[in-house]
């Protein structure tokens, strides 16, 4: 292999490592909910600048928070099978490189939001970044088994941010979108925590299955799933959405609740990860149903 080819491969690997810092799958789900929040905020199509620049700024902020999370959690990631191959534990990137990358993304995000969207969106986006990248990662994650419940506020913010990018204010409908993701987060993440509880135990991270046991966690997954099923009916009940959304929500809730019940009453090893994976599909289709219903003629 020539020196030019080797240099090209190193450059390619470097960009791949930087891309991994952004947690692209997580950011994709965040951006989807933010875009849908933007579209739901307007009776027709939202202003193009809010749709494009608003969601670009939100995406860059989410990527920045993910990169900070990688840097601050590197020692814990190295102890866990699920995360030990990330760029920092493997030495592909240094902490300084990760933090510089995060700073670049964060500055770009705030610049875009202030210059092309509105200040309130920038302030709320920055607050969400700080809650996840600093308050959750540095303190909550290691302080309480309710870490994911409290810290879930940051993950629930994107549709509100998308809404505010259009309206420049926080409305009850936007807060309802927040509430849906806030209620979804515990069963989503605790299902993963059950499957990866030994990893969290080795890393000394007080996730609920580690501190209170698997049975206690199974019960709380079921309870939060019931709460989620009730919350997801509220858009129809307040007239925010129509029959299409209701039917999709009922179908999704039936399957999600069924998985939560199975998780509680059986001990199949495959169920926690199956529920975790379906929870991602669940949220995606739930928000897409909100969007499709929004544009149906009433």
What confidence category does residue 82 fall into, taking pLDDT thresholds of 50, 70 and 90?
Answer: confident
How many other C-beta atoms lie within 10 A of the C-beta of residue 117?
Answer: 27
Spacing of C-alpha 139 from chain mean position: 18
Asked if the model's pLDDT at residue 242 lies above 60, the reply is: yes
What confidence category does residue 99 fall into, taking pLDDT thresholds of 50, 70 and 90?
Answer: very high
Mean pLDDT across the chain? 93
Q: What is the DSSP string of 12-26?
A: HHHHHHHHHHT-HHH
CA atoms of 188 and 132, how far apart (whole Å): 17
**Mean pLDDT on 47-58:** 97
How many residues appear in the chain? 298
pLDDT at residue 298 in the model: 66
Alpha helix segments (H runs only) across the chain: 3-21, 24-40, 48-49, 55-72, 74-77, 95-116, 119-130, 141-143, 147-156, 158-167, 172-195, 197-202, 208-212, 214-231, 234-237, 243-265, 271-294
pLDDT at residue 134 in the model: 87
pLDDT at residue 81 in the model: 87
More confident residue, 298 or 284: 284
How many other C-beta atoms lie within 10 A of the C-beta of residue 136?
Answer: 23
Predicted TM-score of the model (pTM): 0.92
CA atoms of 296 and 298, how far apart (whole Å): 6
**Mean pLDDT on 169-181:** 97
pLDDT at residue 113 in the model: 98
Domain 1-170 carries which CATH code? Answer: 1.10.357.140
Rama region for 297: left / alpha / beta (φ>0; ψ in -120 to 50; rest):
beta
What confidence category does residue 12 fall into, taking pLDDT thresholds of 50, 70 and 90?
Answer: very low
CA-CA-CA-CA torsion sign (20, 23, 27, 28): positive
Asked if the model's pLDDT at residue 129 lies above 80, the reply is: yes
**Mean pLDDT on 211-226:** 97
Asked if the model's pLDDT at residue 111 lies above 70, the reply is: yes
Asked if the model's pLDDT at residue 183 lies above 50, the reply is: yes
**Percent of the chain, pLDDT > 90?**
84
């Amino acid at each position: 292999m020539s020196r030019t080819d080797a240099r090209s491969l190193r450059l390619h690997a470097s960009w791949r490592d930087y891309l991994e810092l952004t947690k692209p799958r997580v950011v994709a789900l965040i951006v989807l909910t933010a875009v849908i929040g933007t579209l739901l905020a307007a009776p027709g199509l939202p202003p193009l600048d809010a749709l494009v620049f608003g969601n670009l700024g939100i995406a860059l902020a989410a990527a920045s928070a993910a990169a900070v999370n990688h840097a601050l959690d590197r020692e814990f990631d190295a102890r866990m099978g699920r995360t030990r191959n990330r760029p920092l534990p493997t030495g592909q990137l240094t902490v300084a490189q990760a933090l510089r990358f995060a700073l670049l993304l964060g500055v770009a995000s705030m610049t875009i939001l202030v210059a092309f969207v509105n200040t309130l969106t920038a302030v709320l986006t920055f607050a969400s970044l700080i809650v996840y990248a600093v308050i959750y990662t540095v303190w909550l994650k290691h302080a309480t088994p309710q870490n994911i419940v409290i810290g879930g506020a940051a993950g629930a913010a994107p549709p509100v941010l998308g809404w505010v990018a259009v309206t420049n204010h926080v409305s009850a409908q936007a807060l309802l979108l927040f509430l849906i993701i806030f209620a979804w987060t515990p069963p989503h993440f605790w299902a993963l925590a059950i499957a990866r509880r030994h990893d969290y135990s080795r890393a000394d991270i007080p996730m609920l299955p580690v501190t209170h046991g698997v049975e206690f966690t199974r019960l709380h997954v079921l309870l939060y799933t019931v709460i989620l099923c009730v919350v997801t009916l509220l858009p129809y009940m307040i007239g925010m959405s129509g029959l299409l959304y209701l039917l999709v929500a009922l179908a999704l809730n039936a399957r999600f609740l069924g998985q939560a019940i199975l998780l509680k009453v059986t001990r199949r090893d495959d169920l926690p990860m199956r529920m975790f994976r379906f929870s991602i599909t669940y949220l995606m289709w739930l928000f897409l149903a909100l969007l499709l219903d929004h544009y149906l003629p009433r």
